[in-house]
Amino acid sequence: MHNGVAFVVIFALAACRGRANDDSPAKPDAAVLPQVANDCTADAHSTLPGVTLRFSTTRCTFTLAQARAGIAIDYEVVVDQNRGAWQSSDRPPGPSGLVVSERLGGSGETYGLEVNTGLVREHPITLARGTYPASFKWDGVNSAGALDASQRKGLTFPPGTYRLEVRAVGSFADGKAKRDFELTGAFSVKLVP
């Protein structure tokens, strides 16, 4: 909590090992689903039945110059069946119907957006079956983005290994009960001189 306002905060961790695409849908009680190929690490987790997140980018190592010129990490939100849910957010939903937060960081470096969920009333959302591509775009610098990270630029990230976290939270109806959900994905990004 910060001044009575809850923020979705994605904490940064570091790792860079392997990745593969896993096209199988997540179960409601799904554990972390590792994805491995090309010396990158990606994980995905979902507690929202029929909704998964997967990374389609297979490159994770970039030079500082490439990062400063702008890179993109592509991912998809996959909805296996039409369903309703609820979310609280001060931002509009993306193409999938979910409000998704993206944050890159590690070793004291941070780039991303904090989403205000504390003072915003929960509202219904409709998720239509489909695969919804999205992309995290970054130009190699820090930000402290409470609003628009692109408007609050900071210093350039130094060489190192960083973690991109993508996250959506809310609730869904499970019979007569309302249950919280979390859809998360993490992808390693390595910067070299």
* 77-96: pLDDT as tens digits: 999 999 999 998 878 888 99
Residue 92 corresponds to which amino acid?
Answer: P
Which pLDDT score is estimated for 49?
95
Strands 177-192 and 61-63, how do they pair?
Answer: parallel
Q: Could you state, in order of their start, the residue ranges of all structural domains in the chain?
A: 7-23+33-192
Entry pTM: 0.76
Q: What is the pLDDT of residue 118?
A: 56
Residue 121: its pLDDT value, please? 77
Return d(Cα 69, Cα 49) in angstroms, integer: 38
Q: Can you tell me whether residue 18 is helix, strand or coil?
A: coil
Determine the pLDDT at residue 153. 78
Contacts of 7 (CB under 8 A, 6+ apart): 114, 115, 116, 117, 118
User: Which residues in the chain land under pLDDT 70?
Assistant: 1-38, 113-120, 144-152
Cα distances (angstroms) measured from residue 107 to each of 54, 63, 153, 154, 192: 25, 18, 18, 15, 15
- Check residue 2 and give its pLDDT: 37
For residue 162, which of 61, 65, 71, 38 has the smallest C-alpha distance?
A: 61
Q: What would the two tokens of residue 192 be? A: 């070299």
CATH number listed for the domain at residues 7-23+33-192: 2.60.40
Which tens digits make up the pLDDT trace of 120-134? 678 899 999 999 999
> What pLDDT, on a 0 to 100 scale, did the predictor assign at position 123?
86
pLDDT at 122: 84
Nearest to 165 by CA among 148, 182, 141, 146: 182
